[in-house]
Amino acid sequence: MIMEGTKAFQRYLALKLHFTSDYDYFRYGGKTRAATNESFDKRKDSFFFRKLERRYSDEDLTNFFVSNFVEGSKVKWVGDLSSIESEKIYMGWKKKMQSFSYMFEQDLLIAKDKMKTENPADLWEPIRGEHPEILKLYLGKKINIETMIASNVVLNYLPKWDRDISDSIIWPDVSKYIRKYSPFITVNKKELIKTMRKVFVS
């Protein structure tokens, strides 16, 4: 018999592992050996998982955890995820996803203002191993991580950046973050290209 709350418990553990280790949520179908009825029953915080499972549909449950795990660097305890603040984070994430095209275009316009040459591609160029301008904008919290993900869908810059950026402290973590988060973001590549042309060409 599947206990109420175990689905939320398993989802939480799998996504936590996905964002904090080499575990791949998609490769293993969100399954973990640690998520059993026995281990769940022993937890003193099982109430929170039941509460979350009652509140959210299956898809919303995944998106709720993802939105909170990618917000900041601190891995959140499930009790924290039952707060009003976590609900606000999720609602903000949903709003961002619903207006993704607009967000992407606005971020690109911010990047366009920082162009130092007439070639937009230079915004993504790690000159002499330094951080590309678009990365500086993200690190400076001027543009969204989702814009980094979307532009990588079009430009596939990650392999080049991993090879050419000399920074071995900040960039490796950002690279991993982008790769871990990317599968949860659904985008239309043709629409992304259309937006990039609108911003940089027209």
Domain boundaries, the chain: 6-95, 99-200
Of the candidate CATH numbers 3.40.47.10, 1.10.220.50, 3.40.50.1820, 1.20.1250.20, the domain formed by 99-200 belongs to: 1.10.220.50
Which of residues 65 and 71 earns the better pLDDT score? 65
> What pLDDT sits at residue 202?
74
- Greater confidence (86 vs 144) lies with 144
Q: Is the dihedral of CA 152, 157, 163, 166 positive or negative?
A: negative
Query: Cα–Cα distance between 165 and 170 in angstroms, integer?
Result: 10
Concatenating the DSSP letter of every residue in 88-153 gives: HHHHHHHHHHHTHHHHHHHHHHHHHTT-SSS-GGGGG--GGGPPPHHHHHHHTTSS-HHHHHHHHH
Percent of the chain with pLDDT strictly greater than 90: 73
**Residue 46 reports pLDDT greater than 70:** yes
pLDDT band at 67 (very low <50, low <70, confident <90, very high): very high
In which band, very low, low, confident or very high, does the pLDDT at 75 lie, cut at 50, 70 and 90?
low
Which comes out higher in pLDDT, residue 122 or 39?
122
Q: Against a cut of 0.85, is the pTM above it?
A: yes
pLDDT band, very low/low/confident/very high, at 72 (cuts 50, 70, 90): low
Rounded mean pLDDT, 33-39: 73
Closest CA to 199 of 159, 151, 145, 135: 151
Buried/exposed 172-193: b ≥16 CB within 10 Å, e otherwise: eebbebbebbbebbebeeeebe
pLDDT class of 68 with cuts at 50, 70, 90? very high
The reported pLDDT for the residue numbered 84 is 86
Task: Specify the length of the chain in residues.
Answer: 202
- Determine the average pLDDT of the residues in 4-13: 88
CATH of region 6-95: 1.10.8.60
The 3-state DSSP class for residue 56 equals: coil
CA distance 138 to 2: 43
- Over the stretch 121-168, which tens digit does the pLDDT of each residue have? 999 999 999 999 999 999 999 999 999 999 999 999 999 999 999 999
